[in-house]
Structure 1
Amino acid sequence: MAKNTIIESPIVNIIGSMTSIEGDVSCGGDIRIEGQLKGKLECKGKVVIGESGVVEGEIYCRNGDFAGKIKGSVNTYELLTLKSTVVLQGDITCSKLAIEPGARFSGKCTMELPENVQAAGQNEKE
């Protein structure tokens, strides 16, 4: 008799292109945004903002892969990738940054060691 094998896969939360959320969002895994989010986003995993994604607010995450429109500060304590279609207005704090030709970024960028970047789930009051 064959043995069943359980394969655990990471959970990816999705805000679809027809979805608009106003308020703070916190997730323990990864998240993909194709719709609109107005509020603070705290993610312990990777944040992917697709070409149709729009975020207005602060973003805190481990890794970021942005292709849409972002207005607000971004704190990524590992790798932040700005794709060629991104339009980002706001300050960035990260330890590694990759920018594709064509990406538009308006703001200040601060490069820090991973342990010095504000981690997801922490705010400046702590």
Structure 2
Amino acid sequence: MIGRDKKSTGGQQNFRDHTLIAPSARIVGDIEFNGGLHVQGEVDGNITVGEDGGQLVIGESGVVRGEIRVPRITINGRVEGDVNATEHLELASKAQVEGNVFYVMIEMLMGARVNGKLVRLDEERRNLPAPEKPGGRPDADPAEADARPENT
């Protein structure tokens, strides 16, 4: 995580498998990963985690255009799409999110920007599998209907 001692895991799993999308790389298509994924380049597609779990980091130069559905997410770049963090979400100072943010626990630093709804997920709803996507994209996110808005 940003600004944390590398020896400390903060109670999180250490992932042996780590994938880097370099600043000069552009990926077109959906990504499913296990372990760690660090995005410094561009991803045009949805990002989800496999059965083994994982953590996503979007660096300052990283851009994701699509839905993100990962338990632990750190954003310090740009996301154009909904973000679903079922455990922990960190929005660092240069984070820019154009979409709705669904979270259980959130950390938001000064300078981070969200243009969309912040929706806290109920504990019983956070471990549901991703909805089936007929035709590649859902019309509406079912988590939004079952989630409790932060201001209630």
TM-score scaled by structure 1?
0.86
The total of aligned residue pairs comes to 118
**Equivalence for 1:35:** 41
* Counterpart position of 2:82: 73
1:115 positional shift: 4.1
Q: Which has the higher helix share?
A: 2
Local SS of the residue matching 1:29 = strand
Say whether 1:48 aligns with 2:57: yes
Measure, in 2, the Cα distance between the counterparts of 1:117 and 1:39. Answer: 22
Tell me the C-alpha RMSD between the 2 structures. 2.0
- What CA deviation, in whole Å up to 9, does each residue of 1:48-99 have, x standing for no partner? 0000000000001010000001000011100100000111110011100110
Gaps spanning 5+ residues in structure 1: where?
1-7
SS of the residue corresponding to residue 28 of structure 1 reads strand
> What residue in structure 2 maps to residue 106 of structure 1?
115
Where does residue 61 of structure 1 map in the other structure? Answer: 70
- Identity of paired residues, percent? 31
Q: 1:122 deviation in Å?
A: 2.1
Higher strand proportion:
1
Deviation, 1:114, is 4.3
* Structure with larger Rg: 1
List alignment gaps of at least 5 residues for structure 2. 1-13, 134-152
Q: Which has the higher contact order (CA 8 A, sep 6+)?
A: 1
For 1:109 and 1:20, the matched residues in 2 are separated by 28
Change (3 A) 1:84 1:9: closer
